[in-house]
Structure 1
Amino acid sequence: MNIRYPLLVAAAMPLTSLAAIDITDNFSISGFGSTSIAKSNNSTPLFIHREITDETCYDCDTIFGIQADYTITEALNASLQVVKRPQDKWSDPEIEWAYLSYEINELTVNGGRLRLPLFLASEYYYVGQAYTWARPPQEVYDSILGFTFYDGFSVRWQTSISDELTASVMPFYGFGRENKTKLGSYELMFETDYMAGLSAEISGFNYRIHSAYMHTKFKQNGGDPENMNIFTLGGEYSLDQWLFMAELENDKLQTNWYVSAGYSFDAFTPYVTYGQSHERRYSKSVTAGVRYDVTPQISLNAEWQGVYLPQERYDQGKDGQFVMPPIALQEDKDVQAYTLMINFVF
C-alpha cells in the first residue's frame, strides 16, 4: 500500500480488504482496531464520546471491529460490521452496518443498516489505519453528535467519465428510529421520523470531491418536532508526497470546517490540521502530529492538539469541543491534548 495516498486508496475499496481472511471462496472476515494513551491539561471532558481529561486515559479511543462479507451471487452481496466504539462497553458493541447489496450494471442497491454518507471518511470512520490523523477532525466529524448509521436503503449510480475520472450519485432514505448519545452525565434522545438525502462524488487518480445533503425530521428528548437540513462538502488532493484535505459542514445551528496537510517520506507522515466551529460550538483548534507506518497493517500516531474557546463564549457558559462548559468546573477555557495511538487491520 502506498502510504502517500491512504485516503484515496480507502475511498476505492474497504481498507480491511487488504488484510481480509478468506474463509471460503465467497466468504471473508476482516477486522480493525485502535487504542491510545491520551491526556489533556484540563479536567473538563474533551470531545464527544472520547471525554479526555487531565487524568491519563488508556481507553478513551479504544475501537475494535469485525466485518464479515459474503458473496451470495455475482451480483448479490451481504456485509456485516460490528464495532466496539469508544463510547461502548466491550459487552455491548454496536452493529454499524448490516446490509444486502445488489448490482445492476452501473447501479448498486443497498438495503439494511448503512453508514451515513455525509463526509469524506464516513465509510471508514472507525478504521484508524485508513486516515492520517489520530482522530478525524472533531469540528466536522462530531458535528452531528457522533451518529454514523441509519436503517433504510440507498441507490448508487456510478459511471466512468474517462479513464481516470469516476462520478457517482447516491440518494438514500432512512426510516424512523431512536438515537441516543451521551454528553458527560447527560443523555440526549432523538426520535427521528425519517431522514432523506443525496451524496455525490467525483474522483480521479489523485483527488476526490464529495458533497452531501440530508434532511431529517426529529424530536429531541420528547420536545416539539424539528426539521434539519445538513450540507457537507469536502475534497482531498495528493501531489507527490503531499496530501491535502478540507471539509465543511453546515446546518441551521452551526458551520464547521477544517483544512489539513500531510507530507510522507519513507514510513513517516507529519501532518497539521486547523479547524473552526461557529455558532453552536464556537471554537478553533490546531493539531500537529506524525504517523508512522510500521507495516501496511499497523500504524502509530503521536499527536498534540490545542483547542481554544473565545473568552466571551466561555463567559456565556458555552462548551465548544468540551462535553460540558468548562466554566462550570471553574476550569480554563483552552486545552492542550496529547495522544499516542496505535491502529491496525487484519
Structure 2
Amino acid sequence: MLFRRPLLIVLSSIIFLPVAQASIELTDNIALSGFGSTAISKTDNRTPLFISREITDETCYDCDTILGLQLDVELFDSLSASGQVVKRTQDEWSDPELEWLYLSYEFDNFEVRAGRLRLPLFLASEYYYVSQAYPWARPPQEVYDSILGFTFYDGLSVSWDYEISDELLLTVSPYYGFERVNKVELGEYLLIFDTEYMAGFYIDLVGFNYRVHSGFMQTKYRQQPSVEQQKLDIYTLGAEYSYESWLWMAEVEFDRLQTNWYASAIYAFDYLSPYLTYGESHQLRKSKGVTAGVRYDVTSSISLNLEYQMIFSQEEGNRAQFVTSPLVYDESSDVDLVTLSVNFVF
C-alpha cells in the first residue's frame, strides 16, 4: 500500500505486524494498490450489532466485507494526486464510496492537501479500511463507532513535519471541511446531518517504537428535519507502544454526549499474535466489552483473525453497541460475537 508517510505507517503498524507495501507500478509515476477483508460473523442476539455492519444471530458472510482500490499519481516533483474507492461494509457492490480524492503539494516540511480527505481523529483513521494494517478483525467499536461511521470530509488540510531528533517526528496538521450533507443508516432509520463545517487539527508524536496521536474537531450541523443548529466538540487521544514482542494500544474519545475508550494488548509469536481488548462506552451508549482473539499472518499480505467478543450493557434496554435498543426485539441487553476474518493487501 502507498501512504503519505511510510515512517508513520510502519511505526503505527508496530514492526512485527507486517503490512505489505505492495502495489502495481502502471508507469514510472502511477501506482495502483488495493486491500480487502471479509468475515464469517455471528452473535447470539437478534438485535443488529454495530453501525454499518448489523451482525445478528444469523450467520453473516458479508457484514464485514470491504474492498478498496487506490491510485497514486506523481504529477510533478512536488505535486501528486491520490484517489481511493472503497466498497465499505454498508455499501452495495454496485455503489462503492469515494473515500478520498485529493491533490497534494509538498514544500520544505509542509504538505497541503485539497479535495476529499480522511478525518484524522483516531490512530487508525488513515488506514481504517485496511484491516491488514491493524491487529484486530475490526477496530474497537466503542471508539471507532463513536462518530457514527463518518470517515471523510471535503476541504483542505496543511501538515507540518518537524524532526525533533533522529528517532522522533512531530506532525501538526490543521484542517477544514466545507458544507455537506452526511447520511447514516441506523437500523430502520436514516439520519441526515446538514453539516455547515468541520474544523480541527491533530498532533502526532512518533518515535522508534511508539506513537501518540491527539485530535480535536468542531462541527456545526443540524439534524434534519430539525432547523436548530448545534455545535459539537470532539476530543481524541491515542497511544501505541511496542517492546520486544509486545504491543499496547489505547484510545479515548469524548464529547458532550459521550465518553468512549479501549485498551488492547497484543503479543507476537512469530506469525501468530494473540490479543486481548477491553472497552467501555458511557452516557449516550452504555456498555463494557471484552474481546479475545488471535491473528495469523499467512504471508506479509494475507492474514486471518479469529475473535470472541462479549459486550455487556450497563443499562437494561440501552442501545450500547447495537443499532437500536434490544427491547425492540425482546432480546437481552448483552451479546456474544464470534468472528473469523481474512484480510489482504496487494
TM-score norm. by structure 1 comes to 0.95
**Which amino acid is 1:116 matched to?**
L
Shift in CA distance, 49/175, structure 1 to aligned 2, threshold 3 Å: same
Corresponding residue for 2:322?
322
Corresponding residue for 1:249?
253
1:173 aligns with 2:176: yes
Residue among 62, 83, 88 paired with 2:86: 83
Taking the TM superposition and a 5 Å limit, the aligned residue runs for 1:46-57 are 46-57=49-60
> Deviation string for 1:274-331 (max 9, x for gaps)?
0000000010100000000000000000000001102xx21xx421100010012110
Shift in CA distance, 81/167, structure 1 to aligned 2, threshold 3 Å: same
Question: 1-side partners of 2:272 and 2:299: how far apart?
Answer: 11
Offset at residue 345 of structure 1 (A): 0.3
Question: 1-side partners of 2:124 and 2:145: how far apart?
Answer: 12
Residue among 54, 62, 71 paired with 1:68: 71
Corresponding residue for 2:195?
192
Residue among 118, 121, 124 paired with 1:118: 121
Taking the TM superposition and a 5 Å limit, the aligned residue runs for 1:291-330 are 291-310=295-314, 313-314=315-316, 317-330=317-330
**Which amino acid is 2:233 matched to?**
N
Offset at residue 8 of structure 1 (A): 2.1
**Which amino acid is 1:96 matched to?**
E
Contact 1:7 1:130 in 2 (8 A): no
**Which amino acid is 1:135 matched to?**
R
Residue among 272, 275, 284 paired with 1:280: 284
Q: How many residues align?
A: 337
Question: 2-side partners of 1:329 and 1:85: how far apart?
Answer: 26
DSSP 3-state at the match of 1:45 = coil
Contact 1:17 1:30 in 2 (8 A): no
> Deviation string for 1:8-35 (max 9, x for gaps)?
25599xx977111100010000000000
Question: 1-side partners of 2:13 and 2:19: how far apart?
Answer: 9
Residue among 105, 109, 112 paired with 1:106: 109
Question: 2-side partners of 1:275 and 1:7: how far apart?
Answer: 25
Taking the TM superposition and a 5 Å limit, the aligned residue runs for 1:206-285 are 206-223=209-226, 224-285=228-289
Question: 1-side partners of 2:20 and 2:60: how far apart?
Answer: 31
**Which amino acid is 2:318 matched to?**
K
1:31 aligns with 2:34: yes
1:290 aligns with 2:294: yes
Residue among 177, 182, 185 paired with 2:185: 182
Corresponding residue for 2:337?
337
1:22 aligns with 2:25: yes
Contact 2:318 2:333 in 1 (8 A): no
Question: 1-side partners of 2:77 and 2:163: how far apart?
Answer: 21
Question: 2-side partners of 1:11 and 1:24: how far apart?
Answer: 31
Question: 2-side partners of 1:160 and 1:331: how far apart?
Answer: 54
DSSP 3-state at the match of 1:295 = coil
DSSP 3-state at the match of 1:123 = helix
> Deviation string for 1:181-206 (max 9, x for gaps)?
01111110000000110100100000
Q: Aligned-residue CA RMSD in angstroms?
A: 1.6
**Which amino acid is 2:322 matched to?**
F
Contact 1:16 1:32 in 2 (8 A): no
Question: 2-side partners of 1:57 and 1:6: how far apart?
Answer: 31
Question: 1-side partners of 2:102 and 2:81: how far apart?
Answer: 6
1:144 aligns with 2:147: yes
Identity %: 60
DSSP 3-state at the match of 2:179 = strand
Offset at residue 131 of structure 1 (A): 0.2
> Deviation string for 1:85-132 (max 9, x for gaps)?
000000000000000000010000000000000000000000000000
TM-score norm. by structure 2 comes to 0.95
DSSP 3-state at the match of 1:90 = coil
**Which amino acid is 1:289 matched to?**
G
Question: 1-side partners of 2:20 and 2:158: how far apart?
Answer: 23
Corresponding residue for 1:128?
131
DSSP 3-state at the match of 1:161 = strand
DSSP 3-state at the match of 1:339 = strand
Q: Spell out structure 1 runs of 4+ moving beyond 6 A.
A: none
**Which amino acid is 1:242 matched to?**
W
Question: 2-side partners of 1:41 and 1:299: how far apart?
Answer: 26
Question: 1-side partners of 2:213 and 2:82: how far apart?
Answer: 23
